[in-house]
């Protein structure tokens, strides 16, 4: 699936904090601009990623992985193929099942934690 990524899209897949280290989420938020993805830590076979969203991400899907979104600050909408958009505010979460075409979008800068399988490609398969 060919997609046009947002301008300034940054994706960092390295496990920045690893284990037994304090993860300073406010510092990460302050130091980065939308569209930003950073793997914060690995938990078993999953990664916890921090995303800063503003605007629209392209529609995409993950053939073999579910994707969980938890809004920390702001508000996002998740568009899913064949369904109505789901609006998430601060402290609300939503899981997109594997194989479902979706896209996150945000009218203003929003901060999101994502939990997904190790090796997931944020732009889809």
68-97 pLDDT per residue, tens: 999 999 999 999 998 999 999 999 999 999
The pTM is what?
0.89
Q: How far is CA 84 from the centre of its chain?
A: 19
Reduced to 3 states (helix: H, G, I; strand: E, B; else coil), residue 41 is strand
Contacts from 96-101 at CB under 8 Å and sequence distance 24+? 96/62, 96/66, 96/67, 96/68, 96/69, 97/66, 98/61, 98/62, 98/63, 98/64, 98/65, 98/66, 99/61, 99/62, 99/63, 100/61, 101/59, 101/60, 101/61
- How is domain 11-117 classified at the CATH fold level? Jelly Rolls (2.60.120)
| pLDDT given at position 1 | 41
Note the pLDDT of residue 3. Answer: 56
- By 3-state DSSP, what share of the chain in percent is helix, strand and coil, each rounded to 5? 5, 50, 45
**Tens digits of residue pLDDT in 9-40:** 778 889 999 999 999 999 999 999 998 899 99
Average pLDDT, the chain: 90
Q: Are strands 10-12 and 36-43 parallel, antiparallel or unpaired?
A: parallel
Q: Which two tokens stand for residue 70?
A: 């938890």
Structure tokens at 46: 């999953």
């Amino acid at each position: 699936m060919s997609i046009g990524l947002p301008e300034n899209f940054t994706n960092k897949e390295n496990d920045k904090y690893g284990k037994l280290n304090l993860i300073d989420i406010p510092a990460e938020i302050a130091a980065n601009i939308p569209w930003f993805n950073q793997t914060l830590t690995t938990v078993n076979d999953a990664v916890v990623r921090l995303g800063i969203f503003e605007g629209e991400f392209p529609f995409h899907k993950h053939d073999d992985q579910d994707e969980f979104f938890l809004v920390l600050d702001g508000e996002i909408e998740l568009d899913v193929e064949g369904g109505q958009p789901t609006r998430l505010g601060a402290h609300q979460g939503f899981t997109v099942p594997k194989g479902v075409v979706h896209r996150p979008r945000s009218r203003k800068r929003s901060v999101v934690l994502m939990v997904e399988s190790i090796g997931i490609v944020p732009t889809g398969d």
